[in-house]
Amino acid sequence: MAMATAKLALLVALLAATSYGALSSPELRGLWTRAERAVEAAAELFVEEDLGAPVIHALRPLVGSADPDPLPLGVPWDSWRLAVETGNIIDWKTVPAHCEQAIVKYLLGDQYGQDSKVVVDEAVLYSSSFKLRGNDADKEKLVWLFDIDETVLSSLPYYAKHGFGYKHIIICSYIYVYITKPLNFTSLKEYVLQGISPALPETLRLYSALRSSGIKIVFLSSRKEQLRNITEANLRLRGFSDWFKLLLKPDDCEGTAIVYKSGERKKLQDAGYVIVGSIGDQWSDLIGQAEGKRVFKLPNPMYYTP
């Protein structure tokens, strides 16, 4: 098969296999274009006339155009995702190899946005009932906590470029091998430093609802203090225009998120603030000490933070 025909087949397969729904922000929808380019790059890399390897495998780590779950190995994607989101599977390093195409469909298709919408609908409903209680002086003390990465700002463009699940496939003649590729924190930080991470649109909706209700906004992130300026700029760029506090980890703090965030919440409580709710993509954003009245867990099947 000629290279051009092969590429055309790849793109047709991509378009047929996946949905254009995505999240409702233009930045995230723009990822499709990048995914298509990545497919072409993969095709260049893997489709060699003399290799004879099935074209479809080059796509698997990027867009998943093959039949669902061709390898009957391991926990099915839906079961794995449920166990991850409920915190039953912890300390995982990578997405299971056989779930790769499922995670891409999940994140770039409709489901990720829909799952986030359900969480935010509940949070908005809850916050609107909460603000009716208490007198004005009490209301001055109400705060809502937001984590930042994968809660407010998305690293999806980074993962789209670097491969979901941090996997590579090596095709050697007819043999292909799955290997894990650990998350490269250096290149992820380079992405964060660009300060262009898109907003997660559902969380932006919660932020707007809370601002109009008068509940104070606190961002509590494991990003280090050295990223303060770029973080502020990125938040403003994406419509998170102001806040009561932006709490970042001291540069020399190496503690886990759960310990650091618990300590910061405790300080807020000790200062007389009432944590009405908090929202994050990791359980370590939400549990520990001083959890507040309710927590809302957004989906994140990309990585685990202790």
Ligand X SMILES: *[C@@H]1O[C@H](CO)[C@@H](O)[C@H](O)[C@H]1NC(C)=O
Give the residue with the Cβ less far from ligand X, 19 or 184. 184
> CA angle, corner 37, sides to 34 and 38, nearest 5?
85
Does 129 bind ligand X (CB under 6 A)? Our answer is no
Q: Which residue is it, tokens 């919408």?
A: 117
> Please, which of residues 287-306 interact with ligand X by CB under 6 A?
none
Which of 276, 271, 272, 279 has the alpha carbon at shortest distance from 292? 276
Site size toward ligand X, by CB under 6 A:
6
**Residue 186 lies near ligand X (rule: CB under 6 A):** yes
**With contact defined as beta carbons under 8 Å apart, do 159 and 119 qualify?**
no
- Whole-number Å distance between alpha carbons of 7 and 39: 8
Q: Which stretch binds ligand X (CB under 6 A): 105-113, 181-189, 262-270, 279-287?
A: 181-189
> Checking DSSP bridges between strand 294-297 and strand 274-280, what pairing results, if any?
parallel
Segment 204 to 243, residues that bind ligand X, using CB under 6 A: 226, 229
| Using rule CB under 6 A, residue 194 touches ligand X | no
Beta carbon of residue 227, minimum distance to ligand X (angstroms, whole number): 8
* Stretch in the footprint of ligand X (CB under 6 A) among 60-68, 186-194, 244-252, 265-273: 186-194
Query: Going residue by residue from 69 to 108, which x/- string records binding to ligand X, judged by CB under 6 A?
Result: ----------------------------------------
User: What does the DSSP assignment read for 104-151?
Assistant: HHHHHSSHHHHHHHHHHHHHHHHHHHHTTSS-HHHHTTEEEEE--BTT
Choices 42-50, 136-144, 182-190, 259-267 (CB under 6 A): range interacting with ligand X:
182-190
Amino acid in the structure at residue 173: S
Binding site for ligand X (CB under 6 A): 184, 186-187, 190, 226, 229
